[in-house]
Structures are given as C-alpha cells and as structure tokens.
Structure 1
Amino acid sequence: MSGTRRAASAHGGGALTGDVRVPGDKSISHRALMMATLAVGRSRIDGLLTAEDVMATAAAMRAMGATIAMDGEQVVVDGVGLGALAEPETVIDFGNAGTGTRLTMGIVAGHPIAATFVGDASLSRRPMGRVANPLREMGALVVARSGDRLPLSIRGPQTPAPIEYRLPVASAQVKSAILFAGLNAPGETTVIEPVPTRDHTERMLAAFGAKVTRTPSPDGLRITVTGRQPMTPCDVTVPADPSSAAFPIVAGLIVPGSELLVRDVMLNPSRTGLITTLIEMGGELTVENERDAGGETIADIRVVASRLKGVTVPADRAPSMIDEYPVLAVAAAFAEGTTRMEGLEELRVKESDRLAAVAAGLAANGVPHATGEDWLEVTGRAARIGGGTVVTHLDHRIAMSFLVMGLAADTPVTVDDASVMETSFPGFVELMRRIGGTIEVEA
C-alpha cells in the first residue's frame, strides 16, 4: 500500500503561522462507507478521507456489492442493503487499516458469506481475537493464524445469534464490530461498556435509520441494536480528524512564536482527551465557532505557543485519546517537569508496539523517560533535544509525532520512513511546510 520507504528529517526554524484544515476524520470515513453499503439506495459523502486506510475499506465494500464513485468533490455510494451483500471473489487486502479490518469482520460475520482478510506486515502482527471471539459467539466461523492474527477467514452463519457482550477492554472497534454483526441478527444485540469509548458508530447508525439505544446501568453503558431493520441512505459530511489535527496543534504549542487556526475539527466528547490534557499543561488553546455537523460537534481551534508544564494523565482518559499519546509524549518533552501517562496497555497492540516505539524515539533524541507495561513518564526540557533517527515500525503516528518534535528540537530529528504517513494523513509534509515547518523528505 504505502510507497517506497523514504526517510524524512524535520528541524527548527521560524514560528508556525497560518490557517489550516487537516483531512477528514478516519473513523467517520470508514463508518460512512460501511453504513452506506448496508443501506438500500444512494448516499453522498462530503470530505471523505482519501488516505490508504479508507481506500482499503472502499475496496472491501465494492467487493461486497456496493457501487462507489466520485461526483465532483463528493463520494457517491449506492448500497446493497442488509442481508444482500455479495461474497467477495478474492481476498480483501486491508494494508495497514486496523479499523477497517475489525469493523468489516463484524459486517461479514452478520451475513451468510465468507471472506478472507490480509494486510501488511504491521497489521498481520496485530491481534484480532478480541473481535473474533464475540463474533464466534454469534455463530461466525473464524479461522486465523495463531493468536488470531491475519491472514484470517470468516464465514458468517445463515442466522446470526444476538448476544449480550461485556467488553473486557475498552475498545470502540470491538463494540462496533459486534453492533455491525447484530444489524442482521434477529432480536437485540447488546454491548456493555464499563468505560465509555468513541460513540461514532451509534451516532451514525441512528442517522442511517437503525434502531440503537444507549442506556446507563450499574454495570456500565448498555448499547443495544435491534437487528433486521432496514437502513436508509444518508448524506454524511466528514469533519476534520482530531487525531490528525493533533500534529499541527502540538507543533503550534511547542514551536516558539507560533499561532495557528486549525479549522473544522470534530470535538466529539469521546475524542477530546488530548485537548483537555494540553489545556491542563498550560497550552493556550481556544475553541471558536463551535457548531453541529451531521450529529457531531465541530469547531475551529486557535493555538498559541505556550510554556507547558508536566501533568499526570489519568488512565480513564485513555479511550478518548488513545491515538494521540505519541504526539502528547512529544509535547511532554518540551514541558517543564514530568508528565505521567497511565492506562496505556492498548498502545502495545496498535500499528506497532506504540509504547515501545515512543520510548525508543524519545531515547534516540535525548529525552529522559521511563516506561512500564501500561505507563510512560516523560521529563521535559532536556539540555538538548533531537539529533536521533526514529524507527517508525510502519506506524504513521510515530512518523508524524517525531517530525513534529524536530520542528522544535535543538538539532534535526529523522524518521526512517515517511511513506507510512499516507495511511492516514496524505499531504502531511506539504501542510506543515505551508505553515512554516521545515521538513525534508529523501528523494
């Protein structure tokens, strides 16, 4: 999927200034394509992220019968409807897309079809058992390599069994896969969340006409979908991705003299942990022009360079910022004192062992830190930051985070592979250059 490996280096220069919009939200983009496929009729999607991960999902939906085409700036999806999916003729290659893989597993498990999933070296190391096990309870046959890793094949049952499933670990992907499978099961399928996670799936299911409820209970939040209800087409506007916005936001805070306006950022409460944390650290972030767009809150964020201080980030905040810890560690490297992040066990099973990759990147660039199985401490304002080469392990967020570090470091920071950034943020280098960042990519 990603192109030829190319190293990239970032180094400090002048202040970052300007007005930018990062690409569309990856989570919303995946789900919009999937739900439009499960609806009968035509849906239009504005602002769809066209990165490799989302294009892999588009290819998977086409393989199951959807017609997906561009109409000017919009993506038009003619869906086939619940219960009418075609069986893919060949394997589905998801590249690096963990979200696309896990959610599509749920869709296939709810239909009497079979599909085989493959991915790149990074995705093939990631565990799929947390999704596969509840889908097996619903009657799906799942066969995979040891540890439930890709390549993986699923055959859905003729009639999926509705289940009640308590999440052992907070995971919006596991929740979403079960709800997707439950859409074609008779009766009610319920997921119990002890800790709330991203609710994009529930919000969008309701927009597409599914019957879905969220009910607080003593054992957690109960999310229930009623199966075998027709889904109706819906037009979706994809807001800017807060996980992608995190990179210019942190860069604007740590590069002296900077001031940026980052536009149209989604501020779903389940995604704002980083903003909350950066404000606690003393970051001058102002939310402007807050408004509603298709059931999601969006706003512009004004960023002014700030003198940050270390804080403790509680474990219960992890679900709302799980993808942002690498760039938070970069912010912490420039903060006064020590920042402690807890509840990070999920980082061990991302595109890379993200916790280990972040620690190695900090070490390579002279940043004092300590780490355990599920925590990281970063002590900021070392005598000299930078000068190292970071191994990305095919992880786009590691690459972008440490390029942001380089923009404020004393000496340049190099990442071994810039091509991986295309999986979620096409145009990252160009956007950062446009606001004044100096990033050089190997020819």
Structure 2
Amino acid sequence: MTDVLDELHWRGLVAQTTDEAALRTALSEGPVAYYVGFDPTAPSLHIGNLVQILTARRLQDAGNTPYLLVGGATGLIGDPRDSGERTLNSPEVVASWVSRIRAQIEPFLVFDGDNAATMVNNLDWTSPMSAIEFLRDVGKYFRMGTMLSKEIVARRLNSEEGISYTEFSYQVLQGMDFRELNHRHGITLQIGGSDQWGNLLSGVELIRKAEGVTAHALTTPLITKADGTKFGKSEGGSVWLDPEMTSPYAFYQFWLNQADADVVNYLKVFTFRGREEIEALEAEVAQRPFAREAQKALAGDVTTLVHGEAATRAVIEASQALFGRGELTGLDERTLAGAVAELPKVTAKAGDLVTDLLAGSGIVASKTEARRAVKEGGAYVNNVKVTAEDAVLSTEDLLHGRFAVLRRGKKTLAVAAAE
C-alpha cells in the first residue's frame, strides 16, 4: 500500500494533494476508503474519464476500497463550464444516463473480495433533503469569499454570460457528497481531475468544519499533448467509451495515431503495463519509430480495456484487411462499418462502373485517371484487382449489402456505399 503514491507519481498522475505526507501515512496504515465522482451530463463517458477510472483501479489494486459515485443529483445541474451555462436535462434523461454510465464503469473495478468496489448515487441523499435543511445544515459552513475565489467561478463572473445561482451552488453539493460518504462509509479521500480541485477542497473543508475530521484530496493533471494542446478529441469530436458513439475501430485508430512525443506518457496513464515494459517501448520509439510498436501496444491495451479482446482482434483484422493484408469478406457488419466510416464516400448501386466510382470518390482525379489506374493494375474492389475498364459493381461486391471498399494503389482508400 505504501508504494501506490510513488506509482502514481511515476505515471504522472499526481497534480495536487491536500497534504501528501499525511496521505502517504494514511495509505501506509490503510486500507483507505476513497471515492471519485462522474456526472451524467452526456449519455457516455469519454476517454478523459478513463484517467479517473484507471486511477481508482490502481488504488484498489494497492488494497484500498473504492466508491464510484454517479451523480444523479449533480448531473441535474452540471459543473460550471468556461463556455457558459449548461443546458439542463430532464430527470428522466439524467436517470437513463446514470444507468448507462454505471454500466460503463463497472467492468474496470472489482466488486467482490475484501476491498470490493461500491457504486453510489448522490440523488439518494440529496433528493429527500428540503431547501431549509440544505441551507441550515450545509450552506452555513460555506463562506462566500471562498466560493467566489474559485477559479472557474471567478472566470464566469467576469464573462458576458455570468454564472447562475444553480451552477454556483454546484461546489456546495459536491462538498456535501464527500461529507455524506464520510458519514456512511468512512471515506476519507476523494480523487478527481485538476479542474475539480476547488470542488474537492469544498468537501475537505466541510468535513473539517462540520465533523472535525481530516480528509484528503488528490487530483490528476489535465492530460495534454506534447505541444500543450488538448488531448481527447478526434476529427469527429470527443472520443467516447460507448461503441455506438465512437466505434471500436475509430477508438483503436485514435490511440494508434498518437505522436511519438506523447505515446510513452499515455502508456503510463492509460495502461497497466509495468515500468520495465514501458521503458522497453520507450527505447523502441527512440530506436525504431517507424515500427510504431509503442502505439500498437497503447491502442491494443486501451481498446481491450474498454471494448474487450474480441473487439480488439476484429479491429486489427479490419485494419489489415483494408490494405489488402486480410479478407474483407470475413469482417462482421459492425466492424466493417466502423472501419470505413472515415473514408471518402461515394453512393453506389450494383451495375455502376467501377471507374465512375473511383472518380466519384475522389481517390483519383478523373474518370480518365480511373481508367489508367485499371490499365496499370492499381485499382481494387474489396482487395480484388480490377482488370477491365468496363467492370461494374456487382451485388456480391456490396458486403453486407452496404459497402464496397475501393483502393487505388497500396494506401489510397474510399468506400462505395449503397443508397
């Protein structure tokens, strides 16, 4: 248990702590009961949330006891954002998202044994409370000066949008959660992202003032790219854990495409590989960057963690098949759909000239160029070489009745999709 804090430091997962020496002592005397919260402000978690989930798992593996809070109450309000007021979702929508997010978190933790994980919902203790009880029993411990000095609150107050009392009150609700969990389960540590530091301190201070008990907070840093830009976005927006919102293929490709300058840090944060393995992959990056062994390890590990081994095998096979190193016909419809989702697209039907489709997709400049590609042996449909300039797309070419993969040369791809 005493090594877990050192492990978190090595992985770059410690941004702030309330009192590191005291926390180290508590962990050495453990087990420590701790919690991390997730608000259902969308139907799925995204890869940024993985930082907290995997940090919670590392602490559990070290013998400590995790509680995972999905905020059925705080999700009705939402944490203040830089970009103005959130849209408030209905209680029915938030409740459905609570269920979805709980199901996403559960596979990452262990829910039996001596330090079994527990799922909790802050709606259970917030909903029965009256406004008067909230103001008298909780609000009296919060000072306006402290609340106004919170970084996000100060920014919003100085913006054109300002901040509503609803979002301003979020920090009180989160502080109340920590106090309630301390009462119910003896929880003395909250973890979260560094952008949540002010909210975490609200709970630590509330427990100190109201209960006279010492509690701890630990935040992880905002994950960025080596150039300082934001991590976690693809061309299509956020990278979600829900396979319907980000396909396993797109998920795998996101990790595979990480830069050499970033991949070692991401291996530390997002995988359970040990120090020796990561250092060996770091050496591979330095000596043979073209092999992209570290990126392959990262993509394989994280995709397996989120989507399972079978999905990872399927996307690797799809990646190989797209470029002629496997059978496209063997791919299931969902995997194939994910694999071609980001390719240039042309609408097609059986009987269309392949040269027209090649030109229409944009992978050649013109129909003349398409005919030249066929003549030179560089045009393919589903990895089968096209040998005739008047070849047409057949019904059998439309895999699953929907897609035909067009290729020019070795690497230029498009998809012909049925109307």
Q: Answer whether TM exceeds 0.5 for this pair.
A: no
Higher helix share: 2
In our comparison, the structure showing a higher alpha carbon Rg is 2
Higher RCO, 1 vs 2 (CA within 8 Å, ≥6 residues apart): 1
TM-score w.r.t. structure 2 length? 0.31
What is the TM-score of this pair, normalised by structure 1?
0.30
